[in-house]
Structure 1
Amino acid sequence: MAISLLSFSPLSLLLLLLLAFAGISEAAVVTYDFNITWVRANPDGLFERPTIGINGKWPLPVMTGTVGDQVIVNVDNQLGNQSTTLHFHGLFMNGSTEMDGPVQVSQCGIPPGSQFTYKFNLTQAGTYWYHSHDKGQYPDGLRAPFIISDPDFPYEYDEQFVLSVSDWYHEEMQVVIPKFINKANPTGAEPVPQSVLFNDTQNLTVPIQPGKTYLFQVVNIGAFAGQYIWFEGHNMTIVEVDGVYTEKAEAEMIYVAAAQRCSFLITTKNETTANYAFVSSMDTDLFDKIPPGLNWNVTGWLVYDDKKPLPAPALIDEYNDFDDFTLVAYDKMPLLPEPDRVVTLDVVMGVLGNGKPYAFFQNITYVPPKVPTLYTVMTTGEDAANPLVYGEFSHSFVLEKDQTIDIVVNNNDTGKHPFHLHGHNFQAIARSAENAGNFVSTNTSQTNFPEIPMRRDTFVLYPQGYIVLRFKADNPGVWLFHCHIEWHVDQGLIATMVEAPLEIQKMVTLPQDHIDACVAGNTPYAGNAAANTVNHLDLRGATVAPKPLPGGFTARGIVALTFSCISAILGMAVIVWYGMVDMGEASKQSEIRRIAKMNREEAAAAAAAAAATEINETGKTD
C-alpha cells in the first residue's frame, strides 16, 4: 500500500526526518592529520635511536573507526630525507585500489615536503594495522594497530585491550638493508633484532578486574620474527584472525607471524591473590644464529592487585602453539568452487650475478617498475589486459573479474614465510607439514579440502612444504602478494595480481595529489612499466633485476686461484733450493722451517683471497 507524506502531521514529518537523519549520520567521517617526522626513542632501554613519529610523538596513535565510516588521512611528509607511503593492512579498499599504498604499485612515494590524502570507506570490522610500504621503512617505527568496531560483534565481553607485539632493531633500515643485501652476506642471513616489544615498550602492565571477560586484539607489527604468545594461569579463546570471526577455539599458546592478527577472550579469575605474567617469545628458528646475550622474550603482566609483586615468567620446555589451520570461520562460508585459474609460485632464495642475495618466485625477483602498476593500468587502454605491459620483474598476473583463483606456493627454502594478499582474504585450504619435502603444481594432488576453510589475509608457509590459497577475484584493483618478512620484501619475494584491469579503468579516477607526488619525486606516471606511452609492448628501458649468476668459476676467480697455486709452487721451489745450499745443518733446518712457515701463510692468504673473490663473484662456496 502506498503512503502519502501528506497524510502525516508536521510533527510526525519532523520526527520521520530526524529518524532518517539519525540513520544516515551513523556513518561518520573520521579524519586523521598525520605530520610524519623523525623523533628519538629508546623503547627497550638499551639504545636511543631516530624513530619515525607522527605529530612529533612515538609510539604512534592507534587508528580506530566503525564499520560504515569514511576515513580520511592527510599525510604531510616532513622526514626530510625519505619518501614514504601508508598501507592499511588487511583492508580490501573496495572500489578504491588507488588508496592501498604500496610504492610503485598503487602510487608514487610521497616525497619529503609533499602532502597526500588517503580516503576510503570501512567495509570490514576487526583487527588491522597501518604501516609504511616504501623502502623497508616501517621497522623504523612507522606502524601501529588499526581497530574497526562492529556493532554486531558476535561475542560478549566486558572490556577490550589492543596489544601490539614487534621485534625491534637498533639501527635504521637505511643502514641495515644495504648491509643485508650485500656481497658480504651471500647466504642471505636476515638481520637479527635486538629486542621484543609489547605496545612499543617493555614491562607492560595491564590492570584487570576479577570475574570479567576481556577481548585482547593482538597485532604482530614486527619486521621479521613470528611470536609465540601465552598467558600464565589463563587460557585464550580465539574469536578472530585477520579480521575474520571464527568459531570459539581454546588455546594455551598461539603463534602470530609478522603481519598476522589474532583476537581472543580471556576470562579473569574470581580472586586477586596474585598477578600473572604473559610472554611473547620470538621464533628463533628463523634466525641463522643467535647473537650472544640476546633476550628473545618480552614479558607483560595481568595485574589484579598493583600492591602485589610481578612474578617472573616460568620457563617452558617447548612451544605448543595452536594450529590455526583448524579454525572455522564463524559465518560458515563454504569452500569456493574449483578454481578457474591456478597460479603456482615456487620460493627460492639465491644469489644473482652481482654476488648479492635475492628472493625469487619462479626465478623472478621483483623490481619496482618505472611507472606505478596501477598507473599503467589507467594509461594503456585495451593493452592493460596484456600482462606484458607491466614488465617482467613486476611479476604480474592479469586476473579476470569474478574468477576463482588458487595460489599454490611451494617452499624450497628452509625458513617459514608468512604470505599476505592485498585486497582480499583467502581460504587457506591446504598446508603441508614442516619439512614435508613434497610440492604441488596444481591443487589436484589433494581433494580433502575443509568444507568450511579458515579465511585470513596472512598465512604461514612452512619450510620445505606447500600451501594452497583460494580466493574470488571480485575486487578490481592492483594487489600485491608477498612474504611479509620485510627482509624478503626487500629481496623481491613479491608477485602482482592485476585484477580486472579494464574494470579498474571504469571505476577509478586518480586524484591530483597522486600526480603531484609523482611530479615532485620525478617519477613517470603514464605508460607501460618502462614509461613508454607510444608503444605499450616496447619494454626497452624498463627496470630489470641484476643478471643471473654465471655458471662455474668467473674469470677473476680463476685468476685469483691461479695466483694462489703459483705462490704455493714457488714456495716449494724455494724450500728445495735451500735444501741444496751448502750451509750448517742446524741453520739449514731452521731456515727451511722459516721459509716453509712463510709460504704456508702466503698460500693460505692467497687461497682465502681466491675464495673471497669467488664468493663475491658467484655467491657460491664448495
Structure 2
Amino acid sequence: MLKSLFAAGLFGGSLVSALPSFGSLPEPKLFPRAACSGNTASTRSEWCDYSIDTDYTSEVPDTGVTREYWLELTDVTVSPDGVSRSAMAVNGSIPGPTLFADWGDTVTVHVINSLTSSNNGTSIHFHGIRQNYTNQNDGVSSITQCPTAPNDSVTYTWRATQYGSTWYHSHFALQAWQGIFGGIVINGPATANYDEDLGVLFLNDWDHQTVDELYSSAETSGPPTLDNGLINGTNVYGDDDSTSQTGYRFNTTFVSGTSYRIRLVNAAVDTHWKFSIDNHTMQVIAADLVPIEPYSTTVLDMGMGQRYDIIVTADQASTADNFWIRAIPQSACSDNDSTDNIKGIISYTGTVSTPTTSAYSYTDSCDDETDNLVPYISKTVSDANWDDLETATVGKNTAGLFKWALNSTSMLVDWANPTLESIVNGTTSWETDDAVIELSEANRWVYFVVETTLAVPHPIHLHGHDFFILAQGTGTYSSSVSLTTSNPPRRDTAMLPASGYLVMAWETDNPGAWLMHCHIGWHTSEGFSMQFIERYDEIAALTDSTTLEDTCSTWTAFQEENSIEQEDSGV
C-alpha cells in the first residue's frame, strides 16, 4: 500500500502565484502490476516469477507495459517556508510528481519546456537509471543532447532494469535546485518485510535567493551559507518561540505496530545530512538502486544525490504522541543558518503538536555508510584491464572565478555541441576542455581513483553504471591501499573523503557518453566533471540522430535569437 501523503510531494498551499492549468496534459497511462503471487507485507522478497535472489543485472521481467508521463516545466513563485521567491516547478509542484513503474516496465517521459519567463533551456536526467544501451535518454545537456528550448519538447524512453528508489532532475546549469526535480519509484522485491510504503521523502537545502543569484558568490567567494532546509518541500523559517516564524512543518501519522518503508532522497545543492527520527530505529534495505543486506541504525549519513530505503516500525506509542524527524546539515561540508530547525513531525495520534523528544547523538562529519553496505546480490570484481588516477583541485581562473579540475582539466562543454552529436558526426578527437576518457573495449574492468588533498568532501556520481567501491579513505592513495574485490559496496553516488581518495570499479558493458561529476551543484557548474566515451564504435548505431539534431537546431536558433550566454561548465 502506498500512502499518497509522501507521494504527493507538493509545496502544499505554498505556491503563491497563479499556476497554469495542466488540465490539457494527458493523464499518465498507468497499468497495475500483473496478477501474481507474492510481495505482500510478509513476502516482500517475492515478485511474481522472480524474487530478491534474481540477479537483476542479467535478468529482468518482460512486463510488456509502458508507463507514460507528461511533465511540464514552468516558472513560478513559491514560499515553502513562508518566504516568497521565484522558482521553477514540474506540473505545478516542487518536488514534481513521482514517476511509478514496475521492475521491467518501459518508461516514457514527455517533457514540455514552458520556462518562457526565465528563458531557460532544460534537460531531464533520471539519476541512477542505468540507461542500458539508451545513452541518448540520459538527459544531460552538452553530453547526450542540446538543451530543450522554451516552447519545445523532448521525449525520453528507458527500461526499468533496476528496482528501488531514485529521482529525476534537470541537468541544465543549476536548474535542479530551482525546483526541477521529482521522485522515481520502481516497484520490485525487497530484502525485508514491511506493511506500508510511504513513498519518496525528499531532503533539500533552500535559500531565499535563487541558486542562479547565489552562483556568482559561489564562483568568487566559495559556497554560500544557505538559509534553510526542506523536508518534502516544506519547513518553517524562524525559531519556534518567535512570533515571526513562517511556514509549516512536514508531518505524517504512524499507526502503532505498523512498519513503514520510506524512500529517502538527498536532493540538496550542497548539504550532507544526518537523518534520524527521535526514539526510532531505522532498518536500511537499499543504497541508491542496490538492495542490501538489512542493517539497523539510529542516524543515517546521506551525501548529495544519494538515496536510502529504510523501514521504520511504529513501536514508540508508549513513549510520546509526537516525535521529531531531523535532517541535520553537517558543517564539515557546508553551512546553513537553520541547522537545528530542519525538522518534521511524526504523530501517533493524528493530532500534531510540538514534540519534546530528544535527538540521538552524532559526530559532525560527511561520512559514507560504506562499511554497512553489503549488496544482497553478491558480485566479485575482476582484475583491472584499465586504470587511472585523477586528482581533484580548485583554483581561480584569470577572471578570478573558482574552477574545479581533475588532473588540471576543468570541464567546459558547449550546450549547442553535445558529445553524442559529435560522435554521430564522426568526431574522433577531443578538446582538452571536453575532459574525455575513451574506453574502447567491451566488457573490460575499469579501476578509477579520484583523490584530493583539499579538506573538502565530494559526492561523486557516475552516469550509466553502478560502480563498485574498492577503497575509500583519507590520506594519499598508493598501491599499498587494500582493495575489496569480493562483493564490495556498489552504488551510483559515493563520497570522496576530505583529503582522501575513492577507488571505483565498473565494467564497460554499456556503450555511450557517460558523465562523472561531483554532485555539489556549485562544483559541477565550476567544472568538476569528466566524461567517459564507452565503446565509441557502437554508439552512433544506438542513436536517433534525427531527434538529436532537431533538438539542437531548435536550441541553436533560440540561443542565437535571444543572445543566451553560457556561464558555466555546460553540464
TM above 0.5, yes or no, is yes
Matched with 2:300 is 254
2:231 pairs with 1:194 = no
Q: 2:498 aligns with which of 463, 466, 471?
A: 463
Matched with 1:537 is none
Residue type at the aligned position of 1:476: P
Matched with 1:341 is 386
What's the CA shift for 1:32? Answer: 1.1
Q: Which whole-Å deviations, capped at 9, do the CAs of 1:340-394 have from their partners, x for residues lacking one? A: 11121101011122221110100110001452111111111xx64xxxx232111
Q: Which whole-Å deviations, capped at 9, do the CAs of 1:533-567 have from their partners, x for residues lacking one? A: xxxxxxxxxx999xxxxxxxxxxxxxxxxxxxxxx
Q: How does 1:152-171 map to 2 (within 5 A)?
A: 152-161=189-198, 162-171=200-209
Q: 1:446 aligns with which of 467, 470, 481?
A: 481
Residue type at the aligned position of 1:257: G
Matched with 1:35 is 72
Mapped contact 1:275–1:311 kept (Cα < 8 A): yes
2:471 pairs with 1:427 = no
Matched with 1:556 is none
SS at 1:333 equivalent: coil
Matched with 1:357 is 402
Instruction: Give the distance between the partners of 1:167 and 1:307, measured in 2 at CA.
Output: 27
Instruction: Give the distance between the partners of 2:288 and 2:164, measured in 1 at CA.
Output: 7
Q: Which whole-Å deviations, capped at 9, do the CAs of 1:431-461 have from their partners, x for residues lacking one? A: 114xxx3233xxx322352522111000001
Q: How does 1:83-122 map to 2 (within 5 A)?
A: 83-122=121-160
CA separation of 1:485/1:92 partners in 2, compared to 1, >3 Å: closer, same or farther? Answer: same
SS at 1:503 equivalent: helix
Structure 2: which 5+ runs fail to align?
A: 1-34, 37-47, 50-60, 236-248, 559-566
Instruction: Give the distance between the partners of 1:69 and 1:40, measured in 2 at CA.
Output: 35
Overall identity of the aligned pairs, in %: 25
Instruction: Give the distance between the partners of 1:250 and 1:25, measured in 2 at CA.
Output: 34
Instruction: Give the distance between the partners of 1:451 and 1:315, measured in 2 at CA.
Output: 37
Q: Which whole-Å deviations, capped at 9, do the CAs of 1:511-531 have from their partners, x for residues lacking one? A: x3322221112179xxxxxxx
2:102 pairs with 1:66 = yes
Instruction: Give the distance between the partners of 2:473 and 2:224, measured in 1 at CA.
Output: 27
Q: Which whole-Å deviations, capped at 9, do the CAs of 1:587-615 have from their partners, x for residues lacking one? A: xxxxxxxxxxxxxxxxxxxxxxxxxxxxx
CA separation of 1:145/1:55 partners in 2, compared to 1, >3 Å: closer, same or farther? Answer: closer
Instruction: Give the distance between the partners of 1:413 and 1:341, measured in 2 at CA.
Output: 26
What's the CA shift for 1:332? Answer: 4.0
2:458 pairs with 1:417 = yes
Residue type at the aligned position of 2:233: D
CA separation of 1:59/1:544 partners in 2, compared to 1, >3 Å: closer, same or farther? Answer: closer
Instruction: Give the distance between the partners of 1:323 and 1:447, measured in 2 at CA.
Output: 18
Matched with 2:260 is 214
Instruction: Give the distance between the partners of 2:450 and 2:62, measured in 1 at CA.
Output: 45
Q: Which whole-Å deviations, capped at 9, do the CAs of 1:2-55 have from their partners, x for residues lacking one? A: xxxxxxxxxxxxxxxx99xx999943211111121111111112x211111123
Matched with 1:513 is 547
CA separation of 1:275/1:340 partners in 2, compared to 1, >3 Å: closer, same or farther? Answer: same
Instruction: Give the distance between the partners of 2:273 and 2:285, measured in 1 at CA.
Output: 19
SS at 2:423 equivalent: helix
Q: 1:229 aligns with which of 275, 286, 290?
A: 275
Mapped contact 1:409–1:466 kept (Cα < 8 A): yes
Which has the larger share of strand?
Answer: 2
Matched with 2:436 is 396
SS at 1:200 equivalent: coil
CA separation of 1:276/1:544 partners in 2, compared to 1, >3 Å: closer, same or farther? Answer: closer
What's the CA shift for 1:505? Answer: 2.2
Instruction: Give the distance between the partners of 1:177 and 1:544, measured in 2 at CA.
Output: 10
SS at 1:438 equivalent: coil
The worse-fitting range, judged by mean Cα deviation, of 483-492 and 170-179 is 170-179
Mapped contact 1:76–1:114 kept (Cα < 8 A): yes
Q: Which has the larger radius of gyration?
A: 1
Matched with 2:510 is 475
Instruction: Give the distance between the partners of 2:412 and 2:368, measured in 1 at CA.
Output: 34
Instruction: Give the distance between the partners of 1:271 and 1:177, measured in 2 at CA.
Output: 46
Mapped contact 1:407–1:469 kept (Cα < 8 A): yes
Instruction: Give the distance between the partners of 1:90 and 1:308, measured in 2 at CA.
Output: 36
Instruction: Give the distance between the partners of 1:239 and 1:25, measured in 2 at CA.
Output: 25
SS at 1:521 equivalent: helix
Q: How does 1:308-347 map to 2 (within 5 A)?
A: 309-314=353-358, 318-319=362-363, 324-347=369-392
Matched with 1:610 is none
Q: Which whole-Å deviations, capped at 9, do the CAs of 1:128-182 have from their partners, x for residues lacking one? A: 10000001111100012211111x3332110112211010122223322233224
**TM score, norm. by length of structure 1:** 0.74
Mapped contact 1:376–1:390 kept (Cα < 8 A): no
CA separation of 1:210/1:412 partners in 2, compared to 1, >3 Å: closer, same or farther? Answer: same
What's the CA shift for 1:269? Answer: 0.9
Instruction: Give the distance between the partners of 2:430 and 2:420, measured in 1 at CA.
Output: 9
The worse-fitting range, judged by mean Cα deviation, of 239-248 and 59-68 is 59-68
Give the paired residue count.
485
Structure 1: which 5+ runs fail to align?
A: 1-17, 525-542, 546-622
SS at 2:332 equivalent: helix
Matched with 1:379 is 425
Instruction: Give the distance between the partners of 1:235 and 1:99, measured in 2 at CA.
Output: 38
RMSD of the TM alignment (CA)? 2.5
CA separation of 1:407/1:448 partners in 2, compared to 1, >3 Å: closer, same or farther? Answer: closer
Instruction: Give the distance between the partners of 1:51 and 1:25, measured in 2 at CA.
Output: 39
Residue type at the aligned position of 2:164: G
Q: 1:405 aligns with which of 446, 467, 478?
A: 446
CA separation of 1:248/1:78 partners in 2, compared to 1, >3 Å: closer, same or farther? Answer: same
2:331 pairs with 1:284 = yes
What's the CA shift for 1:267? Answer: 1.5
Instruction: Give the distance between the partners of 1:372 and 1:67, measured in 2 at CA.
Output: 31
Instruction: Give the distance between the partners of 1:313 and 1:140, measured in 2 at CA.
Output: 33
CA separation of 1:230/1:492 partners in 2, compared to 1, >3 Å: closer, same or farther? Answer: same
SS at 1:82 equivalent: coil
Instruction: Give the distance between the partners of 2:368 and 2:128, measured in 1 at CA.
Output: 21
Matched with 1:532 is none
Matched with 1:606 is none
Q: 1:274 aligns with which of 313, 317, 321?
A: 321
CA separation of 1:323/1:79 partners in 2, compared to 1, >3 Å: closer, same or farther? Answer: closer
**TM score, norm. by length of structure 2:** 0.80
Q: Which whole-Å deviations, capped at 9, do the CAs of 1:474-529 have from their partners, x for residues lacking one? A: 1111101110000000110001010001011233333x3322221112179xxxxx
